Amino acid sequence: MKRIGILTGGGDAPGLNAVIRAVTVSAIDSGYEVLGFLRGWAGMLEKDYEILTKERVYDIHRQGGTILYSSRTNVAKVKDGFEIVKRNLADLNVYCLVAAGGEDTLGVAKKLADAGGNVVGVPKTIDNDVNATDYTFGFDTAINRVMEALDRLHTTTEAHQRIMVVEIMGRHAGWMALHGGMAGGAHYIAIPEVPFDTDEIEKLCRERYAAGKKYAMVAIAEGAEDPKLTAKLQRSAEKDSFGHIRLGSGRGIAEVVAEELQERTGIETRHIQLGHLQRGGDPTAFDRVLGTRLGVKVVEMINAGEFGKMAALRGGEMEAVPLADAVGELKTVPPGRLDVAKRFFG
C-alpha cells in the first residue's frame, strides 16, 4: 500500500491536530497508509513514527498541541541530512511527506523538494508571518489569548491606577501584538517592524493621567525595539538550530520599558510576559476549521502530484502555492497597518 508521511515542526500552534486529523482521514480515504513522524524533522531523520488511523485521530481537532510532538531540528545542519531523509522516505515507501510548520520547517521542506523529495507544506505559526497565505492557523487562537489576557489586565491595572506593560510573542513580525493589542484595547502598541520611542509612551501615559484616565495598558512585541534602550536588555545568548535567539525570557523589552516608565513618571508600573500561555490550550473554531481545510487540501495536492507546494488560504479559498513563494522572506506587518491602530492610542 502506498504511504504518505506527516510531521509537525517548530513552535506548536493550536490547529496542528486538526491538520493531522484531516490529512489522516483524507489520505486513508484516498487509499494511503499514514505515517506520523514524531518530533518534527528529528523523527524523519531517525525513522521514528507511528501509524495513524481514523480511530487515533477521531476528535483530536479539538485539542491544542500536536499528538506528533514537535522540535526545532534543522535537517540542513545534519551531515547528509537531506540524503538521509530521502533514503528514509524510500525505505519506508512514503510517496509524499506533508510538513506542517512555519518559515523554518517549510524552509527545510523547500530544500527537500529542491533535492528531489516529494513534499508538500501546510502553513502553521501563531506569529502569522508566513508569506503567500492570508493567515496561518494558530494565529487566531493566540490573538484571542492575548485579547483575553488584556481584558483581565485592564481591570486590575485600573483598580491600582498603574501602568501595565505586556510583552507579546513575535520576534520579527508584530501581527500578534497588533491584532491582540487592538482587540484587547491597548493604549499603545509597539511592533518589531517600526522602532518605537519610550518618550512617546511616557507622554501618552502622562496625558491619560492628566485627563483623569488613571491607568495605561501598553502592548509590546517581544522583538520590538527602542534603540535607546537596547543596551539595557539582557537576553539569553542561546540560539536554536535555525539561529534564532530566545526572546520572552531574561530581561526583555517589557521589563525594561516598565522600569523606565516608572522611573520617569513616578507612576507604579508592572510588566508581564504572556509567554507560552499564548500558544497553549484548545484552538478556536477558526483554527480548527482552517487546519481541517488545509489538511484536506494537501491530500488533494498529493493526489494531483502537486509537490514542492504549500496549501494556502487566499481570499477565503484554498490554493496550492509554490513553497518558494512562502519561504525566504517573512510576512511582516506593513507600516500602514500600525497607523490604523494608532488612531485609537491614548
Which residues are at the interface with ligand F6P (CB under 6 A)?
10-11, 102, 125-127, 169-171, 246-248, 279
CB of 235 to ligand F6P, least distance (A): 11
Residues 298 and 106 sit within 8 Å (Cβ to Cβ) = no
H/E stretch holding 97 reads strand 94-101
CB of 317 to ligand F6P, least distance (A): 26
Cα separation, 221 vs 248, in Å, equals 10
Cα separation, 139 vs 38, in Å, equals 23
Catalytic residue among 12, 127, 129, 226: 127
Residues 214 and 208 sit within 8 Å (Cβ to Cβ) = yes
CB of 279 to ligand F6P, least distance (A): 6
Q: Which residue has the cell 530521502?
A: 86
Residues 40 and 72 sit within 8 Å (Cβ to Cβ) = yes
H/E stretch holding 119 reads strand 119-123
Nearest to 97 by CA among 120, 65, 68, 115: 120
Cα separation, 219 vs 222, in Å, equals 10
Q: Quick one: 241 or 265, whose CB is closer to ligand F6P?
A: 241
CB of 168 to ligand F6P, least distance (A): 9
CA-based angle 61:103:334, to the nearest 5?
100
Residues 271 and 246 sit within 8 Å (Cβ to Cβ) = no
CB of 67 to ligand F6P, least distance (A): 18
Give catalytic status of residue 339 as yes or no: no
CB of 159 to ligand F6P, least distance (A): 30
Q: Quick one: 10 or 181, whose CB is closer to ligand F6P?
A: 10
Q: Quick one: 117 or 252, whose CB is closer to ligand F6P?
A: 252
For residue 321, list its beta bridge partners: 310
Q: Quick one: 163 or 176, whose CB is closer to ligand F6P?
A: 176
Residue 346 identity: G
Q: Quick one: 139 or 196, whose CB is closer to ligand F6P?
A: 139
CB 4: neighbour CB atoms within 10 A?
Answer: 25
CA distances for 22 relative to 53, 97, 98, 242, 336, angstroms: 11, 15, 12, 29, 36
Residue 286: DSSP 8-state = H
Strand 119-123 with 309-314, pairing: parallel
Which residues are known to be catalytic?
A: 127
